[in-house]
Amino acid sequence: MMNHRRNSPAALRFEDRRKRENEAPRLRDTVPDLVGLQLSIEDRSGMTSTKHLRRFMVDSAPALFLVPCADARCAEGEHDLTSAVMRALREHKTTFQGDDECMGNVGLGVCSRVLHFDATAEYRS
Ligand SMILES: [Zn+2]
**Domain chopping of the chain, boundaries:** 9-123
Q: State the pTM of this model.
A: 0.84
- Report how far ligand 1's centroid is from the alpha carbon of 114 (Å): 8
For the stretch 6-30, pLDDT in tens is: 678 778 888 888 899 999 999 999 9
- Whether residue 4 is predicted with pLDDT greater than 60 in this model: the reply is no
Spell out the alpha helix ranges (H) of 24-95: 27-30, 82-90
Task: Compute how many other C-beta atoms are within 10 angstroms of the C-beta atom of residue 82.
Answer: 15
For residue 80, report the distance from its CA to the centre of ligand 1, in Å: 12
| Rounded distance from Cα 70 to ligand 1 centre (Å) | 7
Q: Is 8 exposed, middle or buried (0-12, 13-18, 19+ CB in 10 A)?
A: exposed
CA 99 to ligand 1 centroid distance, Å:
13
Q: How far apart are the CA of 23 and the centre of ligand 1, in A?
A: 24
pLDDT in tens, 64-116: 999 988 888 888 888 999 999 999 999 999 999 999 999 899 999 999 889 99
